[in-house]
Chain A
């Protein structure tokens, strides 16, 4: 029947396979080929390594984002892609100039054992395994436990503007200033926490004697937090967010200005599609692009994004790059347990039927806008999502999916005697025909519904982007959120209130911006 001919050509690296025995390497024409990357490109061992290593350096070279001497924090999960990234950095640093990479690496590993119910012994075992890998590199490394989100300062949720183009003095000064600030914040939030909870200062130890830098109460708090999230989809979303916050905080405190994440092209294709499904269309480019500037002073970069997971697997196996299996939230869950898991299995299956699926998705994402305006003024800060720090996508036009969901909620609930201003007219009350002839073409309702803006409410919903609201919607209680989120919610609310009160005295936003930049 209708077979519309789909033209999909594969330009990328998805079809890594094993060549026939007699094939010669296309590059050196001598070595016998050990693997085929895309149709016809059979490489020998040496040339494959050269190709793989070159791609990494080329990626960093052409983007010119990392300055010589800059401190770069590698976020490692233990998985194949980030382990491969680590080996590329080692490889790059060991080379002769001018091919040598010239930045100063460090490693961060987030231990999320408490999120999947591991015992302290299990966690200690995995951490020891990771540490032995890290130690072998000679790079400084930081093991951060998920529990530490309960000690994060609220400044993690603020975008700190960096002065672009000045890697030197003022940049460093900004970092130093920041560290001071965050220590201050840390002290404050710790204080506020201690005042509400009587927490013994004692830290946890395994039977083997390994000390952990968190308390039993904090582990309980992590469990409580995840228990209050009803769906695995939202659990995975929130966990990813907390992980990012911990990494960025570590980078700030330890003086790193770049963070490298090891997302492969295959991983990113899944992330792109699942983020579309999670309502994150507006921040797609930010979430998956080569560089992600949302935190301002810390830039996240994804140098592995042009490698397929197959290529990485081949490389790791061939050159003895070891990775560690770390179970996560979804490990034992069935395929349809969460949107992320579902998308992953969908993309992988589609990839088998249409071998260019992943590369097509990847190329689609390349056409998306990554432009991130430099946000510095208070006003603009308020227009970012409290949790993911992406631009708010909820101020949308009148006819939008966001508005439609609000209307649906409103119309399905108890009819309020006085509907909130945004949703009164038109046509939510029965009126005689002919009364509002112009409605279908005219004003069509004013601003959006912004219910309960109580400044003391811990519910951060109105400060969130579309997708992050969905997380909160899946929670039974927001009381379980770590203090830094609650603090920042209150902070933003207060600022908004203040702005309201003094609004008539404020000059136009452009001037406010200039003033902020000068100070």
Chain B
């Protein structure tokens, strides 16, 4: 019923300044805005998010997780603008991860390097080689193509934190947008993951000892991020993740897109729902501990990445796949495994 027809040929005045003619209709609110008013609104909304959630403190070093994709490119640009406009007093750096996959990252890293020049922000690229002692290519060589997904997923999740720790960064910002957050709410709800459901709408996450991560674009619509990048002529590399998302996330994403087409506010409505869910007090939550070796959040003694690494280093890649919690103490103490234990974990059984 809410048939919003194609933009008519008659120039529509900007609903904010009411002088210039509008060039776009905001996906989020339906208002027609001219270019400068859209930029202003988009940036100030991010500022409002930052200010109201008190994300930063003056003098902090903030690492922007830069993948070369649209979200992180827009995030870097907007943070740079706001840091100057509102005098945040932040020391911003771009933080990129090089997985060491021949051919794959080259284009996106090029984009990040160009961004660095355009925005005049320092860029730090940390490689898997530096972080883990293994490139993805070398991992694939050992474990075969079929199983590398477990590794890239786990390693990628930690790479930014490990890199930030290495560089002495106070906070990490990621380009997660409203669509990402809403999708995660839906997915966790569908999977019945109450613990994640509770955590996933938090604008800042991070446990003790870990570097806090925050999402300044949490309330920014993906479509508006694209519009912003388009009108600002920002250079980005459209990285469709090479790792296909898990089945539930894919369904949640498709569902969210449909919801948005029925009622554009649905994205932020889902986030509102997520923020206001109240969980029974007697529902047990998994205890969040940290990895005894690297300090990353982990419900086990050793985090998944450390177990995987241990497996790679011992030539037993199967260690990280499946559940081998019993072995964690041995791994921690760097004790050898028994012949029998080793036999089960060798590569050929993959």
CB distance A350 to B251 under 8 Å?
yes
CB distance A278 to B269 under 8 Å?
yes
Interface status of B271 (Cβ within 8 A of chain A)? yes
Interface status of B262 (Cβ within 8 A of chain A)? yes
User: If the complex has contacts A399-B52, A407-B45, A415-B17, are A346 and B28 also in contact, measured as CB distance less than 8 A?
Assistant: no
- Return the chain B residue nearest A411 by Cβ: B41
Enumerate chain A residues within 8 angstroms of B197, measured Cβ to Cβ.
Answer: 364
Enumerate chain A residues within 8 angstroms of B192, measured Cβ to Cβ.
Answer: 360-361, 363-364
Enumerate chain B residues within 8 angstroms of A353, measured Cβ to Cβ.
Answer: 247, 251
Interface status of B149 (Cβ within 8 A of chain A)? yes
Q: Which of A1, A3, A368 contacts B277 (CB 8 A)?
A: A368
Q: Which of B53-61, B93-101, B133-141 contacts A (4 or more CB under 8 A)?
A: B53-61
Q: Which of A230, A233, A276, A445 contacts B262 (CB 8 A)?
A: A233
Q: Which of A137-145, A243-251, A428-436, A483-491 contacts B (4 or more CB under 8 A)?
A: A428-436
Complex-state Cα separation, A275 to B40, whole angstroms: 33
Q: What's the least CB distance linking B212 to chain A, in Å?
A: 13
Q: Which of B16, B85, B185 contacts A414 (CB 8 A)?
A: B16
CB distance B278 to A368 under 8 Å?
yes
Interface status of A282 (Cβ within 8 A of chain B)? yes
CB distance B247 to A6 under 8 Å?
yes
Complex-state Cα separation, A273 to B53, whole angstroms: 28
CB distance A282 to B31 under 8 Å?
no
Complex-state Cα separation, A415 to B15, whole angstroms: 9
Complex-state Cα separation, A413 to B153, whole angstroms: 43
CB distance B49 to A2 under 8 Å?
no
- Return the chain B residue nearest A272 by Cβ: B189
Enumerate chain A residues within 8 angstroms of B152, measured Cβ to Cβ.
Answer: 2
Complex-state Cα separation, A8 to B251, whole angstroms: 16
CB distance A367 to B51 under 8 Å?
no
Enumerate chain A residues within 8 angstroms of B258, measured Cβ to Cβ.
Answer: 336, 342, 346
- Return the chain A residue nearest B54 by Cβ: A441
Q: Which of B66-74, B124-132, B162-170, B238-246 contacts A (4 or more CB under 8 A)?
A: B238-246
Complex-state Cα separation, A178 to B312, whole angstroms: 74
Interface status of A393 (Cβ within 8 A of chain B)? yes
Number of interface residues of A (CB under 8 A): 80
Interface status of A122 (Cβ within 8 A of chain B)? no
CB distance B88 to A437 under 8 Å?
yes
User: If the complex has contacts A277-B259, A412-B41, are A2 and B283 also in contact, measured as CB distance less than 8 A?
Assistant: no
Contact string, B1-40, partner A, CB cutoff 8 A, digits 1/0?
A: 1100000000000011110000000101101010001001
CB distance A401 to B15 under 8 Å?
no
- Return the chain A residue nearest B149 by Cβ: A2
Complex-state Cα separation, A101 to B188, whole angstroms: 39
CB distance A369 to B246 under 8 Å?
no
Interface status of A196 (Cβ within 8 A of chain B)? no
Q: Which of A230, A354, A440 contacts B2 (CB 8 A)?
A: A230
CB distance B85 to A433 under 8 Å?
yes
Enumerate chain A residues within 8 angstroms of B41, measured Cβ to Cβ.
Answer: 408, 411-412
CB distance B40 to A361 under 8 Å?
no
CB distance B51 to A445 under 8 Å?
yes
Which B182-214 residues sit within 8 Å CB-CB of chain A?
185-186, 189-192, 194, 197, 203
CB distance A231 to B263 under 8 Å?
yes
Q: What's the least CB distance linking B54 to chain A, in Å?
A: 5
- Return the chain A residue nearest B186 by Cβ: A276
Complex-state Cα separation, A440 to B262, whole angstroms: 35
Q: What's the least CB distance linking A466 to chain B, in Å?
A: 6
Complex-state Cα separation, A244 to B72, whole angstroms: 47
Which residue numbers of B lie inside 8 Å of A, CB to CB?
1-2, 15-18, 26, 28-29, 31, 33, 37, 40-41, 44-45, 47-58, 84-90, 149-150, 152-153, 185-186, 189-192, 194, 197, 203, 219, 242-248, 251, 255, 258-259, 261-263, 265-266, 268-281, 283
List 8 additional contacts besides A4-B153, A396-B276, A439-B88; criterion CB under 8 Å: A1-B242, A276-B185, A277-B269, A403-B52, A412-B41, A440-B58, A440-B86, A445-B51
